[in-house]
Amino acid sequence: MKTYNKTVLTIVLIFVVYTLIFTGYIYYSFSNFAFEDFYKRLELRAGTIATMKLGEPAESLKVKETYENFLENLPNQKYYILPVQNNRIADKIPAEIPFKVISNTLKSTSFNHNKADQFYTGLIYKDAQKNEYVVVVSAENYFYSHHIIYLRNLLITSLLFSLFLIFVISHFVLRTLIRPVKSIIKEVNKIGSENLHLRLEVSAIKHKDPISELKYTFNDMLNRIETSFETQKNFISNASHELNTPLTSIIGEADLILSKERSIPEYEKALTNILLEAEKLEEKTKALLFLARTGYTENTQRFDKVRVDEILMEVQQNLLKVNKNLKIKMDFSLLPESPEKLKIKGNQQLLHLAISNIISNACKYSDNNEVYLALGATEQSVVIVVKDNGIGIPESEMPYIFDPYFRASNTFNYEGYGIGLPLSRNIIKMHNGELLIKSVEKIGTTVQIILPTGNYQL
């Protein structure tokens, strides 16, 4: 059975059970009310008739007037007055009176009983001379025999109509609810690896209903998948090119030197060229492997309490040791009063590598002109700003700056492999941080590193 049919059947069954309980309760309540009300009428008439027939003349006359003026005879109403001697009926008991009514009335002074539509009430009455009588009044309960049957038929008809109505309504509601889901399934089936640019149709205004939330969530997932696919394609394309170049040089140099016998200086020159290309290949391979390792979110690196300002100063000192001509201007005017706000949970070596890559890029692409470096902190994060006045990045190429091995079109005169920025981005992401870059070609680049402090418990 399909899920749709199961859902409709479940709703109908729930409604049937509820309706049966509800209608049964109504029928039971009205039946009890009809019984109790009619027995009270019979008891009133039994007491009145007993007083009329066995009471004092004056009282009997007064009761008779009340009875004739205010109490009408019930359908098929009969009464019986039977004397009692020694706790037994002295006269012959009429055959139309159930023996159960007489025996139980003698035991409990009053008793109610019904047989089919005929209802009986018996009670003990004592006259002025202390003589006991069993007074029995019987009548047909017209309300029970007619109105209750009508109520029962009405409830059954209402139940059948309600079943039909709830089936139609549930079918309509479910079709209305399932229609957008089927539409989503139809749209999703059109999306594959060859057309990841397709998206589910959503309204311009973001709604809070589950279907709209599902569409937005799915579109967000598609955005991430498409980005991942594009990154992978670019990575494979660029990596193939970058690794193929030194390999081609090595193979070409080796083929050339082995094509005929050479002098020792020629062999030395060839081996030197092969060594240089092999070193380049090794550096690129190491960078590629390290980038791959940092790309895994499940990578288990050891995270400790570290101070970002100390890492920043250490990076500056290391860069100046390598190149004393670098101009790095440090701005600590935004530092918080408490040094505790500069502490985060992180891996010092990885953070050192990421920040070093970004600052060295700023120095390199600004031709060793002054690079502005600032550090600040808020209640939730530590912020590092690196700003240069270098060559910048063309606006059209900004979406690709985090692709491995991608290099901007204006960087041909600068050495590099296109690994540093994506590597730094992966490290920052491992620390639940953000790496934001703004750049204008021929004006400069501003890099903002945001590292959260909330993930470290002091």
Q: Running DSSP on this structure, what letter comes out for residue 80?
A: E
Task: State the pLDDT at residue 128.
Answer: 84
* Residues 150-178: tens digit of each pLDDT: 788 888 888 888 878 877 887 777 777 77
Tell me the pLDDT band of 59, cut-offs 50, 70 and 90. Answer: confident
Task: State the pLDDT at residue 202.
Answer: 77
Question: Residue 375 CB: number of other CB atoms within 10 A?
Answer: 22
**Which residue did the predictor score with more confidence, 288 or 378?**
378
Q: Running DSSP on this structure, what letter comes out for residue 342?
A: G
Q: How far apart are CA 111 and CA 120, in angstroms?
A: 8
Tell me the pLDDT band of 34, cut-offs 50, 70 and 90. Answer: confident
Q: Residues 229-251: what's their mean pLDDT?
A: 68
CATH no. of 304-452: 3.30.565.10
Q: How far apart are CA 420 and CA 431, in angstroms?
A: 17
Annotated domain spans of the chain: 3-150, 218-294, 304-452
Tokens linked to 380:
């939730």
Whether 288 shows a pLDDT value over 80: the answer reads no
Q: Residues 201-228: what's their mean pLDDT?
A: 75
Task: State the pLDDT at residue 236.
Answer: 65
Share of the chain above pLDDT 70, in %: 88
Average pLDDT of the chain is 82
Q: Residues 261-266: what's their mean pLDDT?
A: 87
Burial class (CB in 10 A: 0-12, 13-18, 19+), 7: middle
Rounded to the nearest 10°, the torsion over CA 356, 358, 360, 364 is 170
- Provide CB contacts within 8 A for 140, sequence distance 6+: 74, 75, 76, 117, 118, 119
Name which of 133-142, 226-235, 251-260, 361-370 the model is least confident about: 226-235
Task: State the pLDDT at residue 394.
Answer: 93
Task: State the pLDDT at residue 457.
Answer: 42
Can you name the residues that pair with 381 across neighbouring β-strands?
452
Q: Residues 348-376: what's their mean pLDDT?
A: 90
3-150 sits in which CATH class? Answer: alpha beta
Amino acid at 247: L
**Which residue did the predictor score with more confidence, 105 or 204?**
105
Task: State the pLDDT at residue 287.
Answer: 61
The yes-or-no answer to whether 3-150 and 218-294 have a common fold is no
**Which residue did the predictor score with more confidence, 239 or 379?**
379
What is each CA distance from 162 to 23, 235, 437, in whole angstroms? 12, 64, 65
Task: State the pLDDT at residue 458.
Answer: 38
Q: Transcribe 130-195 into DSSP letters.
A: --EEEEEEEEE-HIIIIIIHHHHHHHHHHHHHHHHHHHHHHHHHHHHHHHHHHHHHHHHHT--GGG
**Which residue did the predictor score with more confidence, 447 or 237?**
447
* Residues 115-161: tens digit of each pLDDT: 877 899 999 999 888 899 999 999 988 776 677 777 888 888 888 88
* Residues 293-304: tens digit of each pLDDT: 555 444 456 788
Burial class (CB in 10 A: 0-12, 13-18, 19+), 451: buried
Whether 444 shows a pLDDT value over 90: the answer reads yes
Among 326, 329, 393, which Cα is nearest to 363's?
Answer: 326
- Per CATH, which fold does 218-294 belong to? Helix Hairpins (1.10.287)
Burial class (CB in 10 A: 0-12, 13-18, 19+), 64: middle
Whether 235 shows a pLDDT value over 80: the answer reads no
Q: Residues 350-359: what's their mean pLDDT?
A: 88
* Highest mean pLDDT (candidates 51-60, 97-106, 137-146, 198-207): 97-106
Query: How many distinct helices (H) and strands (E) make up the chain?
Result: 10, 12
Q: How far apart are CA 327 and CA 320, in angstroms?
A: 8
Task: State the pLDDT at residue 456.
Answer: 47
The pair phi, psi for residue 206, each rounded to 5°, is -75, 120
Q: Residues 243-267: what's their mean pLDDT?
A: 84
436: left (phi over 0), alpha (psi -120 to 50) or beta: beta
Name which of 96-100, 426-430, 433-437 the model is least confident about: 426-430
Q: Is the dihedral of CA 306, 312, 318, 321 positive or negative?
A: negative
Tally of residues, the chain? 458
Q: Residues 371-397: what's their mean pLDDT?
A: 92
